[in-house]
Amino acid sequence: MVMAKYRVLIAYGTKTEFTQAIAEEVAAVLREDGLDVEVRPAAEIVSVGPYDAVVLGGELRANRWHRDARRFARRHSAQLRSRPVWFFSSGTSDASDASKDGGADVPPVPSARRAMNQTGARGHLTVGGRPGRLPRGLFDRGGAARSSAARDLLADHPEMFRVRDWAHHIANEVTGS
């Protein structure tokens, strides 16, 4: 008997490519763990109905979660409450740099916390670092890294180890492993 793959949506709101890089890294891990994953900007999502689980990411600016992520959570809150949901925030300030605490997660900012409450999110990860470290144009329109050098740059970012561990945790929860 062949088991159906779980479908996971990773949606994100950002003005930089760092948040997209995190979303793509989570997607790569979930795919390695056998899940069917789609990564898209939050503003493009019409329905979360086709998905078994959702990961929503938002860039942090001025201690606020990105507007597209907040709107996505509000617009789809009823559907999100009926499936597993996780959030991540990508920090642009030293205050959000989780790596300074030896990997301990920084709590979500108030706007992300409200969205978590609206959706019944199971967890949150703050990813520190400055998007300015990543050059523009890392991704093509389909979300793929444009070159092996771009992939290597992302893979070496110090926070990506935490992102990968967190993504494996999500895969285990989704599949019940």
For residue range 109-159, list pLDDT tens digits in order. 999 999 999 999 999 999 986 544 555 555 555 555 544 555 565 666 678
Q: Note the pLDDT of residue 5.
A: 87
The answer to whether residue 49 sits within a structural domain is yes
DSSP string, 50-113: T-SEEEEEEEEETTEE-HHHHHHHHHTHHHHTTS-EEEEEE--SGGG-GGGGTTPPPPPPHHHH
pLDDT cut 70: percent of the chain above it: 73
pLDDT digits (tens, 9 = 90+) for 46-72: 999 999 999 999 999 888 999 999 999
Which of 70, 139, 140 minimizes the C-alpha distance to 108?
70
138 versus 87: which is more confidently predicted? Answer: 87
Q: Give the whole-angstrom CA distance, residue 140 versus residue 79.
A: 30
Q: Identify the CATH number of the domain in which residue 82 sits.
A: 3.40.50.360
Which pTM value belongs to this model? Answer: 0.83
The answer to whether residue 2 sits within a structural domain is no
Range of the domain at 21: 7-175
